[in-house]
Structure 1
């Protein structure tokens, strides 16, 4: 059995090296190097010992040494924005994890689009790091236009929801509306995200298709900015004539629930409320929120895999199927009896 994850050198801990791995596995350091390089001619029993030692020692490759040896950078830049929002932040986290799993380091730069030179400044900052490629995580029309006008000197992947991309929003909204229809709701109200977000437009179109599929009425859409306050204002702006509110994200659903309660309406006794994203707090709303859990990690992994394929001249990976899981909690119930 290998020793602890970090060896003590002169009383101080340091990350394990290939020499530590070699000692733990009972092999030469050349064998460990060949294993890490993907050499296929290592005996199965030796391979098992090396794999176990790498895991036990929590070995992490030295990216600087690897880049020097190969003559190629293993750093990826990621341009993002609106990181306070759930989707962009989860995709950025997933991209960092996917890059790390593939042996790359991801440098994340958040862009302030209120600055006229934000993209140029961010690119200058990223390109000073000798990047292998760039992922642009695009959420709004403004970011899309800024990225389109930028000049990239390395391979780039632009990750955004296109206006004709039905798959991302369709299954989740169909699941929500189908759930409410199954409970007996016949009139719904949507609180959409801001129109300059492609994901908001996608969810709004998916809602329209879903209510048409189920033969349900919809009152005019109200709009928010993804925040709880905007969901609260959307409900307070006019009386709700529906028996259920569909919020395009969980934070707006939170604000909507408070506004309904302040109007003397019980959730879900008088009006059901559902959201999208399944944020960590959704299970602890009062009442706990029915919502849709999206696979942001799959979106991030595919973007990283696509970029690495372009960097390394390999075949690009197939687009994964995107899932949306309905999570039913206490904020949705049958409508009140007429």
Structure 2
């Protein structure tokens, strides 16, 4: 029998076509060959082993991306007897900060060869919290990373017996730990210093809800920076992180606004504050300068573009997963500041108006 009807590349008489190299899923051996390392090195990297030289690690990362490597978690779990799924408990993912933290956590899990199972919680419903915790514990998990933004969430997580390695990722209250973050020690002083260099001496802070350690830390950082530079705070008004609450905070102020600079605890509240100032007949930054925190993608396109502190939320999520993997793999991570911030000056800040005669 001849082979005239065989598909190109098919073995004689096989009746099947071998998978094309272009469509075959890459293995760790392919990654090792592309990176010029051993397959054991690739395996250690995927398990989150930290003792790999940076140059070698980068070659492995580049090869993983180039080959679009996806680990076969089911096969690995059967071989090792260890799950490669991580449960992630979170809430308010519609908000910028929590969503970016979750993105960082997901990326860190994927790079280490794990899948992140995300469960969202309703922080206002205690029954919902308990139900979600029970649900996640029904699954075969290697560990749980609990991303808590509020005091209530952290307390709920701390009361839970997870039965697997767990790590609670949350911003700690500076007043309780005595270890203020870079956002407090460098970020806010730089922000207030920027405004002071423009001649501003009277400030107003639009703070987030007090149940969030992040809001309390930012309010204290604001007050400390004001006091350090000998400036004056006209007070603190509270919002709930939303643009609406920033608008209402400024709209509800007395008719004569003494502050020439409004420092909002996040960019959304700054956006609302700018609209309220405009409706009061005040221009930004001609009459009042406005700043935010976070540097959301839209901040550069506000009218005017917003001066803000850029915060690397993704690093918080990555660190939380890496800390959990350290427990799973019995390794230790060096300490680091996951709340690094950077001042981003834009056109919402300008020279303070001349005082009235």
> What TM bracket, shorter-length normalisation?
0.7 to 0.9
The match for 1:136 is 146
The match for 1:45 is none
Q: Secondary structure at the match of 1:161?
A: coil
Closer, same or farther in 2 for the Cα pair 1:116/1:15, shift >3 Å?
Answer: farther
The match for 2:159 is 149
Task: Count residues with an aligned counterpart.
Answer: 320
Deviation string, structure 1 residues 211-257 (Cα, Å, up to 9, x no partner): 00111100120000111110011001113210010000000000000
- How big is the shift at 1:136? 0.9
Alpha-carbon distance between aligned partners in 2 of 1:263 and 1:51, rounded to the nearest angstrom? 53
1:97-246 to 2 correspondence within 5 Å? 97-164=107-174, 165-170=179-184, 171-239=186-254, 240-246=257-263
Correspondence 1:290 to 2:307: yes
Alpha-carbon distance between aligned partners in 2 of 1:126 and 1:295, rounded to the nearest angstrom? 28
Q: Name the TM-score, length of structure 2 as normaliser.
A: 0.82
Deviation string, structure 1 residues 305-329 (Cα, Å, up to 9, x no partner): 1110101112233234642110000
Alpha-carbon distance between aligned partners in 1 of 2:195 and 2:137, rounded to the nearest angstrom? 49
Closer, same or farther in 2 for the Cα pair 1:247/1:71, shift >3 Å?
Answer: same
Correspondence 1:18 to 2:27: yes
- Give yes or no for contact 1:298–1:320 (8 Å, CA) kept in 2: no
Tell me which structure has the larger Cα radius of gyration: 2
Deviation string, structure 1 residues 268-294 (Cα, Å, up to 9, x no partner): 000000000000000000000000100
Q: Secondary structure at the match of 1:110?
A: strand
Q: Name the TM-score, length of structure 1 as normaliser.
A: 0.86
- Give yes or no for contact 2:42–2:60 (8 Å, CA) kept in 1: no
Q: Secondary structure at the match of 1:92?
A: helix
1:37 pairs with one of 43, 48, 56: 43
- How big is the shift at 1:334? 0.8
Alpha-carbon distance between aligned partners in 2 of 1:51 and 1:79, rounded to the nearest angstrom? 27
- How big is the shift at 1:160? 1.3
Alpha-carbon distance between aligned partners in 2 of 1:147 and 1:53, rounded to the nearest angstrom? 38
1:76 pairs with one of 83, 86, 92: 86
Alpha-carbon distance between aligned partners in 2 of 1:301 and 1:268, rounded to the nearest angstrom? 37
Closer, same or farther in 2 for the Cα pair 1:195/1:267, shift >3 Å?
Answer: same
2:294 pairs with one of 274, 277, 285: 277
The match for 1:250 is 267
* Structure 1 stretches lacking a partner, 5+ long: 1-7, 40-48
Q: CA RMSD in A?
A: 2.9
- Give yes or no for contact 1:79–1:136 (8 Å, CA) kept in 2: yes
- How big is the shift at 1:54? 5.3
Alpha-carbon distance between aligned partners in 2 of 1:330 and 1:169, rounded to the nearest angstrom? 22
- Give yes or no for contact 2:312–2:338 (8 Å, CA) kept in 1: no
Deviation string, structure 1 residues 61-106 (Cα, Å, up to 9, x no partner): 2111112111111111111112122111110111000111112111
Q: Secondary structure at the match of 1:332?
A: coil
Deviation string, structure 1 residues 23-63 (Cα, Å, up to 9, x no partner): x97x9xxx985564359xxxxxxxxx999875543222211
* Structure 2 stretches lacking a partner, 5+ long: 1-16, 46-58
1:61 pairs with one of 60, 71, 75: 71
Larger RCO, structures 1/2 (Cα 8 Å, 6+ apart) = 2
